[in-house]
Structure 1
Amino acid sequence: MGWRHWQARRRAAQRAPEARRWVVLDTETSGLDMARDRLIAAAAVAVHWVDGRPCLRPADSFEVVLQCPPGLALDEVARRNILLHGVGRGEQGGGLPVAEGLQRLVDFVDGAPCLAFHAAFDATMLDRACRVHLGAAWAPPWLDLAVLARLLHPELPHRHLDDWLGHFGLAVGQRHRAISDAWVSAELLLRLWPAWRAQGGGQGAWRAAQTLVRARRFLLQNA
């Protein structure tokens, strides 16, 4: 990572504890190979902190379908994944050029702390795409809702997003569509908030989450 990229990430991480706007993200891709597969679509839903509580504003959301490279030959796995997301070649053909779509997403996030369910995948895909198409790393810090959910509710065996949605009675409009998954992930954050606040020890939400994650990492390293 270059010096400028490191500095940008450090500044974003320092601002995160005081941020009053977070962003929950979801990406749809042609597969699960983070080194070779490509982004198909991305969506983001803002979480606003009002009087110490998270709330959602439907108007503060974003979705983009990225243009399929011309002449791209898809293997059978890629075709199945694209059908799963419901974003066909026709819609991709009318999507935004990748660089433009990514820049619009970066502008929407505007440096806010980012969250996703299994965030490492989304973070890696977005970082790689931004480096290739924008010439800059993805700067905003990440928090993994999957990890946080397990830390806050260790009594539950859930691992997959669908498990958590079922537990909290959350309905999703169109599973595996970026905007639907981003929205329901943001709703999951709201459901996690009571336990999150209770275990926060008076810390702000971002610091409390980081404390929980660091404690888990320490226990794993010293097990």
Structure 2
Amino acid sequence: MNPFAWLRPATPLVQEALKTRLARLPQPTPWRTCSLREQRWVVLDLETSGLNLNRDQVLSIGAVAIDEGAIDFSQQFERTLHRPEQKTTASVLIHGLGPSALAAGCDPATAFVELLEFIGDSPVLAFHAPFDQHMLTRALKHSLGHRLQSPFVDVADLAPMLNPDVAMREAGLDAWVAHFGLEVAERHHASADAQVTAELTLILFSQARRQQLDSPQALLQRLHAWRRRKAHHQGL
């Protein structure tokens, strides 16, 4: 018997039907040289119990597809997860997720499989994407023992990169939404936040095309170069 076995996280018990669906998921494709309009994108927003990357958990998921250069309202995804053990805190209530909503939520493992099926082989866009990517990675490992493979793009980086003359003290989603005059039906709600992020993204894609960045590959190459310059200047 291995005396250190207790240190290893337990492997989650996953239903065979869910394992089969995971096995059928397509592999993410490399960054393409097609136009931004031709690429299908998935805009994701996660509402969580807090901002602790190692302790808090995903409570609800909102996603919408950008397909053929427009938000496709026939391709939307929304789930509230079954989290009856979640304590009612200010962080939870700001999302409008009270105890009854979380108690009536769907099975997290099933919801995450459905989300991966919705994403397919598309790249994922999110505002402050590293947070959503980390939280989803941890949730998939905990619920399904599955490794997230979808590439993520941070809209919070695309916006300043494509708008170098815009100076903001707090360049959060609300600030960019106000800058471009977008209307938000409801904030801190996964589906509403995903939709307004998608609307912001379409504006940014239009700007990218005017800057001769009309493919996912070209956009990501410019973004990587912009991040390197930013890190260099911050290090000086």
Q: TM-score, normalised to structure 2's length?
A: 0.80
Matches within 5 A, 1:68-217: 68=83, 70=84, 72=85, 74=87, 79-158=89-168, 159-201=171-213, 203-204=214-215, 206-217=216-227
Matched, 1:21 2:31: no
Secondary structure of the residue aligned to 2:147 is: coil
Q: Give the equivalent residue in structure 2 for 1:67.
A: 82
SS of the aligned residue for 2:28 comes to: helix
The whole-number CA distance in structure 1 between the counterparts of 2:178 and 2:81 is 31
Aligned to 2:73, which of 52, 58, 61?
Answer: 58
> Is 1:12 paired with 2:28?
yes
Q: Distance in 2 between matches of 1:30 and 1:177?
A: 13
Q: CA deviation at 1:217?
A: 2.5
The one-letter code sitting in structure 1 at the alignment partner of 2:39 is R
Structure 1: 5+ residue runs without aligned partners? 1-10
- Determine whether 1:48 maps to 2:67: yes
Aligned length in residues? 202
* Structure 1 residues 153 and 38, CA gap change in structure 2 (3 angstroms): same
What is the CA-CA distance between 1:200 and the residue it aligns to?
Answer: 3.0
Alpha-carbon distance in 1 for matches of 2:231, 2:121:
31
Deviations, residues 110-152 of structure 1 (Å, cap 9, x unaligned): 1210000000010000011001111111111010001000000
Greater radius of gyration (CA): 2
Aligned equivalents of 2:186 and 2:230: distance in 1? 36
CA RMSD of aligned residues (A): 1.7
